[in-house]
Structure 1
Amino acid sequence: MRIGILGAGNMADALGTQWLTAGHEIMVSGRDPVASAALAQKMTTAAGPYRAPSQPGQPQLASPEPEVAVVRAGTWAEAAEYGEVVMVAVTEAGLHDVLRAAGPAMRDKPVIDVTNAVGPGAYDVTRSLAELIAESTGGHVVKAFNLCHVNIWRMTPPVFDGRPLAVPLCGDDEHALATTRTLVTDLGCTPVYAGGLDRAKLLEATAAFMIGLWISGADAQAVLPPLARSGAHPTT
């Protein structure tokens, strides 16, 4: 799968490198072409060589030569055009300018939004960044990957006490959701459908609330009981 990433920061690095290792093709983009090219080289080096599997109908080579997956760097518009799926991983402050520069190429594509409003009081409960992205691009947006620190996405895989990390997804388009589920699974995580895109504002609010707890030194995960103690649940 070709993944175009709007952003050349830590989230682009962490998630993009994991997906590169899983066999996807990556293009990153940023404000500074030199910095974007440097990140692409860093990701290429970090992923290292891999042995490509045989194609159906072709014999398996006894000792296939290692190949190197090369991360590309481009402009905002080039990354948006390149990706079969596009990930938005830029700061909230620059979001409008980036989406405008990316142009119309994201229309009708799966778009993964990992952004959070950051800083004291930055989150606005009356709006959703994910819905803003959908309105601006015409893409099929899925909110995901916004609840964890970037270091979690560098783990291979993110597993705690034997339980894979669950990643909630909010979106309306089934193809975009299925694409995002694949990318979640490629990280060794468990995708969890959390409702339509109208619920993305709740996911963003959860991030704002939990990040505040973590910054204060509280164990945010401890505020919720285990599933078995959380009351009656309808059977499916």
Structure 2
Amino acid sequence: MRIGIIGTGNMADALGGRWAAAGHRVLFGGRSPERAGALADRTGQSAGTLQEAAAFGDAVLLAVPYDAVAGVLAALGAADGALRGRLVVDCTNAVGPGFRLTTGTGPGAARTIADATGARVVKAFNHLPDSVWRLTPPAFADGPVAVPLCGDEEAALDTVGALVRDLGCVPLTVGGLDRAAYLAAATAFLIGLWHSGHDPRTLLPPFEVVTA
């Protein structure tokens, strides 16, 4: 699969590197040609402009801080259709001070990106930090990591599900793009717990207890 990655930070590095190792062709595009080139050199892949990453292949990973999304989309020319109809994987987290969503009561990040671009957006990979995605594979004592996916198009969800499996993880479709806001809110809550030194797993009973 050919994957364009918009961004040159930790998530771009972690996911792009793992997909490259799995045999995919990856093109890194960012506002810094030097950083994009460094990622390409490290992973044996390609670097290009934002526009080239947006037009590259089967899927585009949007991997920039959420507060930079509007500027990146403007630089990309998203309003003019640069991402229209493209499969965009949104791994952003709109989390601000106090671990609150900066999207407030409005549309969630994924819906906002979809409306701004006309892209086929799937929310995925936002619920865990880059350090987990660098594991080979991302798995713990209970088994491989499950990756929740939110999207409105079955074919797009299938494609992203294949990318999840190529990391050694398990895709878990949890609803349409309207559910992405709930996933984002849950992630913000989890981030707050982790930063305060709490293990979120202690909040939940074993599955066997719930289903008994």
TM-score range, shorter chain: over 0.9
Return the offset for 1:117.
1.8
Task: Give the aligned partner of residue 65 of structure 2.
Answer: 91
Once the two structures are superposed, residues 71-96 of structure 1 have per-residue CA deviations (whole angstroms, 9 ceiling, x without a partner) of: 11111111001132111000111101
Tell whether the 8 Å contact from 1:110 to 1:175 is kept in structure 2 after alignment. no
Structure 2 residue corresponding to 1:119, chosen from 82, 86, 96:
96
The answer to whether the aligner puts 1:197 opposite 2:177 as a matched pair is yes
- Aligned ranges 1:4-153 → 2 under 5 Å: 4-44=4-44, 71-103=45-77, 104-121=81-98, 122-123=100-101, 124-126=103-105, 127-153=107-133
Return the offset for 1:184.
0.3
Once the two structures are superposed, residues 103-133 of structure 1 have per-residue CA deviations (whole angstroms, 9 ceiling, x without a partner) of: 3232112110000023324513423110011
The sequence identity of aligned pairs, in percent, is 52
- The residue identity in structure 2 corresponding to 1:87 is L
Tell me which moved more, 94-103 or 197-206: 94-103
What CA RMSD, in Å, does the superposition of the two structures yield over aligned residues?
Answer: 1.3
Q: Distance in 1 between matches of 2:38 and 2:192?
A: 32
The answer to whether the aligner puts 1:180 opposite 2:160 as a matched pair is yes
Structure 2 residue corresponding to 1:206, chosen from 186, 191, 201:
186
- The residue identity in structure 2 corresponding to 1:77 is Q
Tell whether the 8 Å contact from 1:171 to 1:195 is kept in structure 2 after alignment. yes
Once the two structures are superposed, residues 19-42 of structure 1 have per-residue CA deviations (whole angstroms, 9 ceiling, x without a partner) of: 011111101111111121112112
Return the offset for 1:100.
2.1
- The residue identity in structure 1 corresponding to 2:53 is A
Where do 5+ consecutive residues of structure 2 fail to align?
none
Return the offset for 1:102.
2.3
State the secondary structure of the residue aligned to 1:111: strand
- TM-score w.r.t. the length of structure 2 is 0.93
Return the offset for 1:231.
4.1
Return the offset for 1:228.
1.7
Tell me which moved more, 25-34 or 112-121: 112-121
Tell whether the 8 Å contact from 1:125 to 1:201 is kept in structure 2 after alignment. no
Q: Distance in 2 between matches of 1:185 and 1:221?
A: 24
Tell me which moved more, 29-38 or 117-126: 117-126
Tell whether the 8 Å contact from 1:144 to 1:169 is kept in structure 2 after alignment. yes
The answer to whether the aligner puts 1:220 opposite 2:200 as a matched pair is yes
Number of residue equivalences? 206
Q: Distance in 2 between matches of 1:118 and 1:196?
A: 21
State the secondary structure of the residue aligned to 2:5: strand
